Amino acid sequence: MRIQLACLLLLFATVCSQDASVSPRYRKFIEQHISGQMSATRCDDVIRSRSITKTNSNECKETNTFIRATTNIIKSICGQAGEPYGEMTKSLQPFDIVVCTLKNQQARKPKCQYRGQARTRRIAIKCEQGFPVHFDRDIIHFDN
């Protein structure tokens, strides 16, 4: 577990150091929503280790979605790999995601317990200056 956390921190530091001008919102997006090695059974551990909670509180976040991809692939949705979707940008291709849903409502950190579900969906994100800053939703897509 310590090795995984160390690797995650190293990856996060590497991504952040690549561009010192990267916004804090993009860094928060990475921390909350990108995990290439995420699985449905790891929701509790990953959410706890990343200190993910409702904004500005100790309350457990009701739902958090992790995208199993690299930061560069996700960033490309804000460019050629995405299309407008209202005020958001929708990915052209589906992604493997893990949706973590709170099991114990009204819980507070550190007692958050989650049920994970793996899915393959297109995703809708908010982009600012070419960087993803908010995960909006996953989208069920049916080809015609």
Is-catalytic flag, 33?
yes
β-pairing verdict for 88-91 and 63-67:
unpaired
Active site residue 141: no
Q: Cβ distance 120 to 96 under 8 Å? A: yes
Q: Which of 33, 61, 121, 122 is catalytic?
A: 33
Residues 49 and 110: beta-carbon distance below 8 Å: no
End-to-end CA distance of the chain: 44
Which one from 50, 134, 137, 139 is the annotated catalytic residue?
134
DSSP label at residue 93:
S
Catalytically annotated residues: 33, 134
